[in-house]
Chains A and B, each alone.
Chain A
Amino acid sequence: MSLIALLLAPLLAAGLLVPARRGLARGVHAAALAATLAAAVAVAHGVVVDTTVVALDGLLRADALSAWMVGLIALVATLAGLETFSEPAGRRFHALFHLFVFTMLLAVTTDDLGLMWVAVEGTTLASVFLVNYHRTRASLEAAYKYLLICSVGIALAFVGTVLVYFADVQQFGAEAHALRWTTLLRWAPQLPPRVVELAFVFLLVGYGTKAGLAPMHTWLPDAHSEAPASISALMSGVLLAVGIYAVLRFKAVVDLAAGPGFARRLLILLGLASMTVAAAFLWSPTSLKRMLAYSSVEHLGLVALGLGFGGPWGIAGAILHIANHALAKATLFLLSGRIRDVYGTVDIALVRGVIMAMPVTGRAFALGMLALLGLPPFGLFISELMILGAGFKEGWPAATVLALGLLLVAFGGMLRALHGISYGAPAAWAGRELVTWGGVTPVAAALGLLVLTGLAWPPGLVAALARIAAVVGG
Chain B
Amino acid sequence: MRAASNLLAFFGLAVTLLLVWRRSWPGRLRLFVLQSAVLALLAATVGWLAGKPALLVVAGVFLALKAWIIPRVLHRMAAGTPVRPVAPGRSSGLALLTAGGLVVAAYVIILPVTASATLPTAGAIPLAFAMALIGLFMCVTGRDVLGHVLGFLVFENGIFALALLATYGLPGLVEAGVFLDVLVIVLLMEGVVVQIRREHDSISVDHLSELRE
Interface residues of A (CB under 8 A from B): 112, 114-115, 117-118, 121-122, 125, 128-129, 132, 135, 137-138, 140-145, 147-148, 151-152, 155-156, 158-159, 162-163, 165-167, 169-170, 174, 176, 178-179, 192, 194-195, 197-198, 221-222, 225-226, 281, 286, 290
B181 touches A195 (CB 8 A): no
A114 and B188 in contact, given A152-B152, A166-B166 (Cβ under 8 angstroms) = no
Sample (27) of A-B pairs whose CB atoms are under 8 Å apart: A114-B173, A118-B177, A118-B178, A125-B184, A125-B188, A140-B196, A141-B211, A142-B211, A144-B208, A147-B185, A148-B139, A148-B148, A148-B152, A155-B152, A155-B159, A162-B159, A162-B167, A165-B163, A174-B168, A192-B112, A194-B112, A194-B116, A195-B112, A198-B109, A198-B112, A222-B211, A226-B211
Q: A118-B178, A151-B185 known; A144 and B171 CB under 8 Å?
A: no
**Cβ–Cβ contact A117 & B174, under 8 A:** yes
Q: How many angstroms from the CA of A163 to the CA of B109 in the assembled complex?
A: 12
B106 to chain A, nearest CB (A): 11
* Cα A137 to Cα B195 with chains together (Å): 9
Chain A residues lying within 8 Å of B181, measured Cβ to Cβ, are: 118, 121-122, 125
Bound CA span A52–B163, Å: 31
Q: 13 other contacts beyond A144-B196, A152-B136, with CB at 8 A cut-off? A: A117-B174, A118-B177, A125-B188, A148-B148, A159-B159, A162-B159, A162-B167, A166-B113, A174-B168, A192-B112, A195-B113, A197-B112, A281-B213
Interface size bracket, B side: 35 or more
B23 to chain A, nearest CB (A): 21
The answer to whether the Cβ of B37 comes within 8 Å of any Cβ in the partner chain is no
Name the residue of chain B whose CB is nearest to the CB of A162.
B163
Residue of B whose beta carbon sits closest to that of A128: B188
Hey, which chain A residues are within 8 Å of B188, CB to CB? Answer: 125, 128-129, 147
Nearest 3 pairs between A and B by C-beta?
A: A114-B174, A118-B177, A194-B112
Q: Is the interface of A mostly helix, strand, loop or mixed?
A: helix
Asked whether, in the complex, the Cβ of B116 is within 8 Å of the Cβ of A170, the reply is yes
Output the nearest chain A residue to B111 by Cβ-Cβ distance.
A194
- Min CB distance A168 to B, Å, is 9
**Cβ < 8 Å to A, chain B residues 161-193:** 162-163, 166-168, 170-171, 173-174, 177-178, 180-181, 184-185, 188-189, 192
Q: Show the binding face of B for A, using Cβ within 8 Å.
A: 109-110, 112-113, 115-118, 132, 136, 139-140, 145, 148, 152, 155-156, 159, 162-163, 166-168, 170-171, 173-174, 177-178, 180-181, 184-185, 188-189, 192, 195-196, 199, 208-211, 213
In the complex, A226 Cα to B136 Cα: how many Å? 27
Q: Which residues of chain B are within 8 angstroms of A121 by Cβ–Cβ distance?
A: 181
Contact A159 B132 (CB under 8 A): yes
Cα distance, A117 to B189, chains bound together (Å): 20
B109, B181, B208 — most chain A CB neighbours (10 Å): B181
Beta-carbon contact of A162 and B199 below 8 Å: no
Known: A155-B155, A158-B159, A281-B213. A140 touches B167 (CB 8 A): no
CA A118 to CA B178, docked complex, whole Å: 6
Task: Tell me which residues across on chain B come within 8 A of A141, comparing CB atoms.
Answer: 208-211
Flag if A145 contacts B208 (CB, 8 Å): yes
Q: Which residue from B118, B167, B199 sits with its C-beta under 8 Å from A165?
A: B167
A156 contacts across to B, CB distance below 8 A: 136
- List, in ascending order, chain B residues with CB within 8 A of A226's CB: 211
Known: A118-B181, A155-B152. Is A112-B173 also a contact (CB below 8 A)?
A: yes
Q: How far is the CB of B124 from chain A (nearest CB, A)?
A: 14
Complex alpha-carbon distance, A140 and B194, angstroms: 11
